[in-house]
Amino acid sequence: MKTISENRCFGGVQGVYSHDSSACGCDMTFGLFLPEEAETGPVPVIWYLSGLTCTHENAMVKAGAQKWAAEQGVALVFPDTSPRGEGIANDEAYDLGQGAGFYVNATQSPWAPHFRMWDYITDELPRVLFNGFEVDEDRQAITGHSMGGHGALTIAMSFPGRFRSVSAFAPIAHPTASEWGRKQFTAYLGADESKWAAHDSTLLMRTRGFDGPVLVDQGAKDQFLHLLMPEALAEAMAARRQNGTFRMNKGYDHSYFFVSTFMEDHIGFHAEALYG
């Protein structure tokens, strides 16, 4: 593992690191904020998964999360959203290829050799994190924005007992029924739609639910509402009587201005679960 940068931040350290990924077959970069408490022992960790076109850097710089994480004594990990580099498949569209991994393991050409973000986020990067830093494997939570909200919800519901809480900002909530999902699932997973269901948070909520509290924030003026389909997830949560809260926030769009506005709520929500 290579240290790219480390900066003092709210009493803790905001680091950026890279490592050789066997899952993705390339170098991968991630950000990690460690609060001051990590100097004396392992701290709880919140995973933040970013959205389309983003790298590890977007939320790390724009979300304002470190201040609230430092106050709560929790770590934040900011993974990248896809493999990157020369020789790795890409597409001219912003919503497919590099920057658009959708947190799945691709099975189709030309994506299959490198686009294995499910394995990277759920297996490889956790091993790197827990072996290399003072973070507590038994106290994890997960959140994300847009495509990352999709990833956070599907991963949380697929690993019962791993995460104490899950939240999402404007998640792609029903990708098997949306162009933000059907296009990418066809490319990455093939035309057999039965293989898509494991990566749809609305379908997972209907059939499985989450074994902890859920918080979802959505902007009512989000320019991508027709692609996100938040009403499907809200209905699934209500039908299942999921322990959770879905909030439609008047006037907010899809930007990081929206994310940063509600970040304190999300960090506090997770801290309560992590320390409770």
Q: Mind telling me the catalytic residues?
A: 146, 222, 254
Strand-pairing partners, residue 143, are: 48
Distance CA 73, CA 82 (A): 29
- Residue 110: asked if its preceding bond is cis (omega within 30°), the reply is yes
Distances (CA, A) of 254 to 227, 232, 241: 12, 18, 27
Query: 29 φ, ψ to 5°?
Result: -120, 140
Structure tokens that stand for 74 in this block: 């929790």
Question: Could you tell me where the DSSP H helices lie in the chain?
Answer: 57-62, 65-72, 117-119, 125-132, 147-158, 179-189, 201-207, 225-228, 230-240, 256-275
- The number of CA neighbours under 13 Å toward the Cβ of 101 is 30
Structure tokens that stand for 259 in this block: 């994310």
Contact by Cβ (8 Å): 153, 168: yes
Distance CA 103, CA 97 (A): 12
Task: Using DSSP, state whether 139 is helix, strand or coil.
Answer: strand
What burial class does residue 260 get, using C-beta atoms within 10 Å of its C-beta: 0-12 exposed, 13-18 middle, 19+ buried? middle
